[in-house]
Amino acid sequence: MMNYRVRSIPHPQYSNQLLPLLVNMRNCQLPEPSAALWGWNLWLSQKYNTAKNRLHDLCIFYEYVDRHYPLFFEDAAKLNIMTRRQTNDLASFLLINFDYDVEDGVQVSASTFNRRIDSIMLFLQYHYSRYIEKIVVSDTADALSRTVSRINAHLAKKRFSAAEVENQTKQTKPLEVEQINIIRDIVRPSDDNFINEINPFRKSLQRRNACLVMLLCELGCRASELILIRNNDNDLKLTTNPTIVIQQENRNTNHFRGRKDGASHKTRGRELPISQGLASLLIQYIEEDRPLLRKSYNGSLTQYLFISDQDGGPMTTKGLMYVINSLYRKTPSLKQVIHPHQFRVTRGGQLRDGIDKNYEGANSPMIKAGDMQDTLTTWGGWSSTSLMPKRYTNAILQKRIRAYLAGKEVD
């Protein structure tokens, strides 16, 4: 239960137009002063619904302050700006969906989370500026303003990417078997005995790019997780039963790479199997191609598995997207079809199908449901109560519903 709500009251000086106010439900529903000032400023400059929705988002911030940072307003008056650690904690808190019990760990949608981030950034800028404007020494005021901007920029990096928002709001269709086969044919590297004329990449990059695409197919991991795989025995276990270990990022190391796509607060460590053929291809890339790409980047050699051919540094999600977008250079039918999330959705559907087949003829739906949730959340790197498995396997479920209603056997 939230302790803060938005209430609308008629304003007598403005023809009784409704004025939204953030109120404290524990304090006789009295308006919160700082929120009232910001809300008034919004109400004068923006539409009523916009101001009201921003204040709804601010309610979450006030809940965070009550539970995790009770000295926020006192510190703000002293111009003690929030730290990065506090903004990381705040970002995690903004994911909570208060329509459910907090203990259930249900998260809001990506678009709602992004809107909350934007609202809190606007409030922080407004609230700190009220005190910074009173400082006489311009250099001090400028330094504090830059600090606030840096904190807001750090908070902005927590937002979900456009692809993740679209994945939640618009159903992503899994790739068809024919499309996957075409993709495999396209990325097959040339060798001494075979020249792949439809491969759009130069020979020195063909094995690297084939590994990138096939790992997306077989792991179904996030794009950001793929580029963070390191070339060491902890992440790569290319033995008889090869696996890839996706590590949970440690923010307190010198090697931590901030990610702009918002996945940094979601990744959970897990070990996933790959085929022996892909493991062999990875070994060839590591032994023959990677040393030629690797060169000093910012004074040191990168530890990451996939290397940019531009500067010898670690590959980025932008570079990965370029590789994927290049797949349809000579195959126009793939245009606008594939992106990392589509590989992820496809793999999720395959995994769910595999679990279902293992339970054919079983009479214990509770065990099946529990195993399904545990397996899918572990595979996807989600919390145990996440609703994401349903989103990623929605196409499989709808296919079965259509087949059932049509009185047909499900494939």
Q: How far is CA 46 from the centre of its chain?
A: 30
- Flag the least confident range among 204-218, 243-257, 346-360, 390-404: 390-404
Q: Tokens representing 409?
A: 């056997």
- pLDDT, average across residues 324-353: 72
- Copy the structure tokens of residue 192: 């001494």
Both tokens assigned to 359: 């339970």
Q: Which domains does the chain have, with CATH numbers?
A: 4-159 (no CATH), 176-337 (1.10.443.10), 348-405 (no CATH)
Query: Order of strands across the sheet with 30-31?
Result: 4-11, 17-24, 30-31
Residue 332 neighbours by CB under 8 Å, 6+ apart? none
203 vs 171: which has the higher pLDDT: 203
Question: What backbone torsions phi and psi does residue 220 show, to the nearest 5 degrees?
Answer: 65, 30
pLDDT top residue among 159 and 100: 159
In 263-368 the beta strands, taken as DSSP E runs, fall at: 270-273
Helix (H) or strand (E) holding 147: helix 138-156
- The whole-angstrom separation of Cα 271 and Cα 282 is 17
* Res 213: pLDDT: 93
Task: Please give the residue that has the higher pLDDT: either 281 or 397.
Answer: 281
Contacts with 223 (C-beta within 8 Å, 6 or more apart), sequence order: 216, 261, 317, 320, 321, 340
**Could you give the count of Cα atoms lying within 13 Å of 230 in the half-sphere of its Cβ?**
13
- Cβ burial of 104 (10 Å; 0-12, 13-18, 19+) is exposed
pLDDT exceeds 60 at position 100: yes
The pLDDT of 315-340, averaged and rounded, is: 75
Select from 392, 395, 408 the least CA-distant residue to 341. 392
Does residue 246 sit in helix, strand or coil?
strand
8 A C-beta contact, residue 66 and residue 130: no
Mean pLDDT over 183-201 rounds to 90
**Over residues 65-79, mean pLDDT:** 94
Angle at 51 between CA 47 and CA 55, to 5 degrees: 170
Q: Does the reported pTM lie above 0.85?
A: no
Model pLDDT for residues 366-375, shown as the tens digit of each residue: 445 566 666 7
Of the chain, the percentage scoring pLDDT greater than 90 comes to 44
Q: What is the pLDDT of residues 266-323, one digit of tens each?
A: 556 788 899 999 999 999 999 999 999 888 777 788 899 999 988 888 898 888 888 9
pLDDT digits (tens, 9 = 90+) for 129-179: 999 999 999 999 999 999 999 999 999 998 887 766 665 666 667 788 888
Per-residue model confidence (pLDDT) at position 269: 75
Which residues are 314's β-sheet partners? 307
Count other C-beta atoms under 10 Å from residue 23's C-beta: 22
* pLDDT given for residue 224 in this prediction: 85
pLDDT reported for residue 340: 65
Q: Contact, 212 vs 319, CB < 8 A?
A: no
pLDDT tens, position by position, 21-71: 999 998 888 999 999 999 999 999 999 999 999 999 999 999 999 999 999
| CA proximity to 114, closest of 166, 78, 149 | 166
Q: Is 297 helix (H, G, I), strand (E, B) or coil?
A: strand
